[in-house]
Chains A and B, each alone.
Chain A
């Protein structure tokens, strides 16, 4: 399975919104509503931010939202805050018990 495609970097100023894309194929992102997003700060384990395309786990701020159109999923962070600066990874179910990750996007808060 090939990795999902994410932009290597994204940035925004405090208070702004930024959207990170995650492009796959009809065999993964486009074929299932099982896209999830993870936030990872340096030296820390990843943290689940969005699952099943657009559902936030308890405790995740509503500034984080997810969506999907065709083979591309997106994570939007609204009202950027300094603590949002981190790496973000998307994943998708890819059939036959397989999971595929995106390459990751480094989000910088300017």
Chain B
């Protein structure tokens, strides 16, 4: 049973950064990619980017280029998503998901991490 377990909720000030973790079980890191998706309150899902852990190369949505950093620690099977220069519009639930490398469907999801940006 694949599990993706994310870190807990965060409250951040505008202008600061947040780093969310996603620990994977099983063979996820050796065979899959990890994708990050966010969902603002009452809004839809938004793709932020992905990383293939065995390659260590991230890919980012154009919207988040320069503000997001996705990394993966193979030794602990943990992926990270760091978002900087936070603003109120970044208040959202952030999900990690297991991503099949070639066809990019997301077959297992973490439980989500609520990030609240407020002064």
Binding site for B on A (CB under 8 A): 1, 3, 34, 36, 38, 40, 45-48, 51-52, 57, 89, 91, 93, 96-104
Which residues from chain B contact A101 at a C-beta distance below 8 Å?
37, 44-47
Q: Which residues of A contact B105 (CB under 8 A)?
A: 34, 36, 48, 51-52, 91
B95 part of interface (Cβ distance < 8 Å): yes
What A residues does B27 contact at CB under 8 A?
Answer: none
When the two chains form their complex, are residues B61 and A103 in contact, meaning their CB atoms are under 8 A apart?
no
A1 touches B61 (CB 8 A): yes
Interface of B is mostly: strand
What is the number of residues of chain B that contact chain A, defined by CB distance less than 8 Å? 22
- B binding-site residues for A, Cβ under 8 Å: 35, 37, 44-47, 50, 59, 61-62, 95, 97, 100, 103-107, 109-112
Q: Bound complex: CA of A1 vs CA of B95, how far in Å?
A: 20
Question: How close is B109's CB to chain A, nearest CB, in angstroms?
Answer: 4
Residue pair B103, A51 in contact (C-beta under 8 Å): yes
CA distance A100 to B105 in the complex (A): 11
Q: B residues within 8 A CB of A52?
A: 103, 105
Checking B45, B61, B95 against A104 with a beta-carbon cut-off of 8 angstroms, the contacting residue is B45
A45 touches B111 (CB 8 A): yes
